[in-house]
Each structure stands twice: as C-alpha cells, then as structure tokens.
C-alpha cells in the first residue's frame, strides 16, 4: 500500500508502519517531483519494502520526542536544556555552568538521544529538543528563561 497525501497524517503513517511487514509507503504529493524517484518508491513498496517521505519521518520523530517525558533527563541535562531554551550557545552554557564546551556537547548529545532525535540533514535537533522541552512546560517551576 502506497499512500499519496497532501499533508502528513501521523495516525495513518503510524498505522502503516505498525505491522512491520513492509510493502508500505507514505509520500507527500507536493514533494514527488521526479518521476524516476516515484517509480522507484512504487517498486520498493511492491517488492515488500518501504518508501517514506523524509518529512513524514521527521514529524513522526518529532511526535515521539514530545511523547517521551523530560523526566528521563538528569538534573544537569535539565539545566542545559533550560539554557538551550533561553537561546544560549554551547559556549555560553559552558561558561554559565562552569564546565567545558566538550561537556556541554556531551550533555546535548545525551539529551538528543533520550528524546529520540537522530542525526538528520533535514532537522535541527537542538530546535526540536527545545520545542519538546517547551511543550512539557519548561522547568519544574513551569517557567522558561530568567537569570
């Protein structure tokens, strides 16, 4: 089954992938420009494979990140997350927490992993992590920002 849609319907996309048998695809109409790529997607699905539009995958991962509780973050990772939400760079966060930039890079990598945000050319994981953080109401006091 290959779905061609005008926009991403996360429920349909999740249902397509749920059985794990393959032979499914979900492509966005306005992103199917190349006939050769479309035919390739049809062939992959017909052969039992999958063909998923990168934007569909991105939205599914974004939803997964929002569903995952911030409670999995350590207290230090929550501090880093709050400072990221304030728009601070890794250097500014390192300065504020009196650690190295390398330590901050490790914390942000751990945050991305815990939120299920894989490396992607199409998505900015830092922005997606901050959106997930803000969606959960920020820090324990329910505020974001401040000194």
Q: What is the DSSP string of 62-99?
A: HHHHHHS-GGGS-HHHHHHHHHHHTT--HHHHHHHHTS
**CATH numeric code, 70-135:** 1.10.10.10
pTM of the predicted model as reported, rounded to 2 decimal places: 0.48
Residues β-bridged to residue 103:
none
Q: What pLDDT, on the 0 to 100 scale, is given for residue 99?
A: 97
Over its length of 147 residues, how does the chain's per-residue pLDDT go in tens digits? 888 888 887 777 777 767 666 688 888 887 778 888 888 888 888 988 777 777 777 676 665 545 555 678 888 998 998 888 877 889 999 999 999 999 999 999 999 988 888 887 777 888 888 777 766 655 444 333 443
Place of tokens 């922005």: 127
Counts for the chain of helices (H) and strands (E), in that order: 7, 3
């Amino acid at each position: 089954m290959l779905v061609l849609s005008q926009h991403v319907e996360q429920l349909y996309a999740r249902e397509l992938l749920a059985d794990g048998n393959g032979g499914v695809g979900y492509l966005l109409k306005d992103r199917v420009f190349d006939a050769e790529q479309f035919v390739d997607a049809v062939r992959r699905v017909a052969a039992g494979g999958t063909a998923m539009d990168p934007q569909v995958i991105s939205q599914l991962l974004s939803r997964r990140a929002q569903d995952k509780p911030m409670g999995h973050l350590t207290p230090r990772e929550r501090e880093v997350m709050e400072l990221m939400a304030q728009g601070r760079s890794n250097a500014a966060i390192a300065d504020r927490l009196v650690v190295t930039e390398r330590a901050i890079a490790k914390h942000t990598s751990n945050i991305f992993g815990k939120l299920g945000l894989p490396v992607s050319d199409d998505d900015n994981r830092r922005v997606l992590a901050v959106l997930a953080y803000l969606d959960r109401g920020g820090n324990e006091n329910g505020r974001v920002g401040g000194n």
